[in-house]
């Protein structure tokens, strides 16, 4: 249910075409709520049907022109209501954790290499998040909106640090 809300959020930040939304997802929202190009386009159609968004009128109609969407009052109301709802955290569902549990039963062959690969991926992601923080959140950016966006990024930074520490410990336990 959260993809439509992610799209509404992105469109309220800036009216965009489906392609622009996909690119913006790859650079921001996608770090914590990913979606494919097809999922975004499918959801745009549903949001338009529900009266939550509309395609902006084109300056001059041309065939094949990309549609740019904006959020309508009903979409803003839906997003506002969703922000205020309660929702329990989702249980963790992680293949690596399951693999480690399975390794306790069938053996650890190949597990160390996979743990090292994951460690490297998390180290790279942490570096990327820290670069984003440096570029986009200088101390003088102190509006409520900036602080909220920054706290989301810091959540990602903290999660990457957690995974790096946890994977390092798991490798030590494995003897690697």
What pLDDT digit, counting tens, does each position of 104-141 carry? 999 999 999 999 999 999 999 999 999 999 999 988 88
CA 54 to the chain's CA centroid: 24
Query: What stretches in the chain show pLDDT beneath 70?
Result: 1, 59-65, 176
pTM > 0.85: yes or no? no
What pLDDT does 62 receive? 60
CB neighbourhood size of 36 (10 A): 11
CA angle 25, 26, 30 (to 5 degrees): 55
Residue 49 burial by CB count (10 A; 0-12/13-18/19+): exposed, middle or buried?
exposed
Q: Which two tokens stand for residue 149?
A: 């966006």
Give the distance from CA 117 to its chain's centroid.
Answer: 21
């Amino acid at each position: 249910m959260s993809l439509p809300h992610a799209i509404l959020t992105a469109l309220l930040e800036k009216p965009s075409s489906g392609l622009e939304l996909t690119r913006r997802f790859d650079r921001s929202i996608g770090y914590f709520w990913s979606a494919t190009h097809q999922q975004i386009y499918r959801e745009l159609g549903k949001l338009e049907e529900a009266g939550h968004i509309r395609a902006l009128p084109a300056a001059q109609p041309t065939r094949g022109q990309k549609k740019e969407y904006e959020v309508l009052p009903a979409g803003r109301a839906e997003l506002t209501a969703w922000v205020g709802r309660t929702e329990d955290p989702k249980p963790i569902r992680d293949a690596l954790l399951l693999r480690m549990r399975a390794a306790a039963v069938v053996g650890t062959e190949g597990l160390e290499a996979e743990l090292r690969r994951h460690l490297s991926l998390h180290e790279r992601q942490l570096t990327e998040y820290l670069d984003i923080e440096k570029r986009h959140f200088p101390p003088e950016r102190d509006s409520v909106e900036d602080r909220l966006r920054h706290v989301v990024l810091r959540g990602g930074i903290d999660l990457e640090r957690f995974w790096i520490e946890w994977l390092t410990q798991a490798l030590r336990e494995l003897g690697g």
